Structure 1
Amino acid sequence: MRFGNPFKLIARLSNPDAVDRHHPDAMLPDGTRVYAIGDIHGRADLLDAMVSKIADDVRERPVDQPLTVLLGDYIDRGPRSAEVIDRLARSDFATPIVTLTGNHEDIFGQVLRGSASLDRFLGMGGDATLRSYGLDPRAMQRMRTSDRQAALRGSVSPSHRAFLEATRLSLTVGRYFFCHAGARPGVPLDEQSREDLVWIRDDFLKSSFDFGKIIVHGHTPVKTPEVRPNAINVDTKAFASGVLTAVVLEGNQRRFLQVRV
């Protein structure tokens, strides 16, 4: 199935004023469906299964403008981070996709640029990511900084680096706001800081603040998808639970897709 220019679609759907003209109370524009996938963390097997499940869903329930939003944390902890990045960089999906920045991509990008501590990255499960690129984490710790950066440049392809640099901090579609971690209560969504969009936790999770849009996020693991009046959390800890979750948004309807491997 062909969907035309994905960049034009994303630009139109990112318009904060986009609504269903026939149903002004709808959460999404007419003919639009969004699949928002939670934290993957190196589970390429679960990503493959979810891509297939979304393709089946689009085929069984045709829609004019489907879009898949990935909410960040593609790497670390799970065993196949490089494969996950490779598929995302190739946009090998049944719909156009938007990839958002997770805190794990944030730190990995800094490590690649030489501006973050390798030990901090390893403490967040980055050892699994390095191994997926054929690198030995312990050997990397013993290297001089210049040698470490050379090893990273030789193992992490330019296309993967470009992918990491191109991930977005947020996306607005209709009356939904997509980001990795959440948003700072009391701050307009278009003024949120990078730090909060990628890293915030308790100040957001414990707040009932009305942001004017529903925040769709991951970052904080939950056993089952969590729906609150102001937010939807779809991080079901895929790397450990073996369950990857996506929320499917259409009009005023919400449903969930899950894959288990």
Structure 2
Amino acid sequence: MELQDWDVTCRGLKLSGLTNTAIGDEVCLAFHGWLDNSASFVGLMEEGLNLFALDLAGHGRSDHRVGASYFILEWVLDAVHVMRELEARGAQRFHLIGHSLGAGIAALVAACAPDIQVDSLVLIEGLGPLSTAAEDAPDTLRRALSSQTKPPRKYPSVDPMVKAVQTTRPGISEADARRLVDRVVAGSDEYWFAHDEALKDTSLLRLTEYHVLAFLNQIKCPTLLIKAEDGLAFPEELSKPRILSIENLQIETLPGKHHVHLEDAEAVAALIRSFQSRVA
């Protein structure tokens, strides 16, 4: 399998990614999780899925935002601009895949992208974006205004970075961890993760649960939710209303942890392939 870098200029930023295919009438666009990058989808590509995996702004080889926050709606706006550019290059229909943070972004795009044909949506370990109760918003903003971005941690070599990735992403192999690290390493005598450290700052604002449900209610395309048995906890008081808000939702559960698409790319790819074949 031959991987290629691809990029697009979006709202003054250069956004990059990885792909194993050429742009056709249909494009499958993938959004990774927080502090991950497009390399998290290489395993699915090796299993035969043709993807355009994007490095979200602030991640991987994409530019960092300067003087702006990483509010989820900014990534949604980026995603729509990217889809517009792919349309200009020949795409007419889209299938969206998102993991964790990327699942929240993909869900909002599928709900609200204007005049863009979204034929299917796959959510891996994520059922919409994180939310905060309205009464907690002042405290959230207060903490965000008082937080300070720390400089990146420096490492003497790549190997301890690989170990750090495995520690924070239980269940993934050394090979998969090294893929993520190889895409984001910067430096010569010392090494650090190239993602923007501002990504770790407290969000200025989060959507309320009422907002999230309203967005999910607007998703009309067939949707597949892939959950991991030992992945993110889905409290019933939140997950049940979200599940009921998506009118055409299929739910599948696989053994594994939060990065189940890295742990068992074969099983996840099989689910996605079967799902997309039924909605084609």
Same fold per TM (> 0.5)?
no
TM normalised by structure 2 equals 0.26
TM normalised by structure 1 equals 0.27
Bigger relative contact order (CA 8 A; separation at least 6): 1
